[in-house]
Amino acid sequence: MMSIAMAHSLSRRFGTRYERGVLASAALVIFAVVITIADAGRRIRQPVTMTDGPILYYIHDPEHLATDKELATWAFDHWARASEGRIRFESTEDRQLASIEVAWTGSSVPGRYGEMRPGFVNGQRVAAIAVYPDIAALGPELAMRSKRDPLLHDVLVYLTCLHEIGHALGLPHTADSADIMYAFRQRGHISGFFKQYRDRLRHRNDIRSEPAISESDAHRLRAIH
């Protein structure tokens, strides 16, 4: 479970626009969805508000590698493709207009890769996503492997963005380890999924043409949109 201190940290990171319409700090803890080793598979109640137009998203400039922003963009593109036209995304330079906001920050909790916090702005459901791109801070195993294989960083960032955007779209965790929305409850589950996806790639640009979204993920997305 996300601590109240962590909720306050995210509030400072994203600003107060994600607090309006949320009951209190304790409610932020209840609504938080966090990828951790002990994740109990909490479910998102509703996706961000859908309109006839595209869903606007805003990506902060990365603090670790400038290329991380492109990986987040590819993750949005892959969900749009999986929706078969039901969902369209569009980037905006005005974060106040965004329904989904992606920021980059550090994590003090080993095994945590990212999180998504829903909220309300002007009566609209929105989502704040935090991604922890410093692979060296996520444990000695991944840190050592990333030194031998720099592409592992890109895999981690892309898959984390994909998973958290899925939550923003209303997708819950699943029990199928082939799904990007799988509830990764053990460290081996996470590193194993990363490795399987990494083995599909020869170059970084392969990520753009190799979505990590399973047929089951896509079917569930289309079922709720």
Q: What is the pLDDT of residues 56-114, one digit of tens each?
A: 999 999 977 899 999 999 999 999 999 999 999 999 999 999 999 999 987 656 667 88
Could you give the CA distance from residue 17 to residue 93 in angstroms, rounded to a whole number? Answer: 16
Inter-residue contact 132 to 65 (CB < 8 Å) = no
Residue 11: per-residue pLDDT: 54
Give the helix ranges, DSSP H, for 23-139.
25-31, 68-82
- The single-letter code of the amino acid at 126 is V
- Spatial contact of 161 and 197, defined as CB atoms under 8 Å apart: no
Nearest to 31 by CA among 46, 53, 16, 14: 46
DSSP letter (8 states) at residue 133: -
The structure tokens 């479970």 sit at 1
pLDDT digits (tens, 9 = 90+) for 154-201: 999 999 999 999 999 999 999 998 999 998 765 555 667 888 999 999
CB neighbour list of residue 2: distance below 8 Å, 6 or more residues apart: 28, 29, 32, 34, 115
Query: Which of the four CATH numbers 3.20.20.220, 3.40.390.10, 3.40.50.2300, 3.30.565.10 does domain 4-224 have?
Result: 3.40.390.10
Identity of the residue numbered 173:
H
- Compute how many other C-beta atoms are within 10 angstroms of the C-beta atom of residue 66: 9
Q: Taking all residues of the chain, what is their mean pLDDT, rounded to a whole number? A: 80
User: pTM value?
Assistant: 0.80
Query: At 52, is the secondary structure helix, strand, or coil?
Result: coil
Instruction: Quickly state the pLDDT bin for 30 (edges 50, 70, 90).
Output: very low
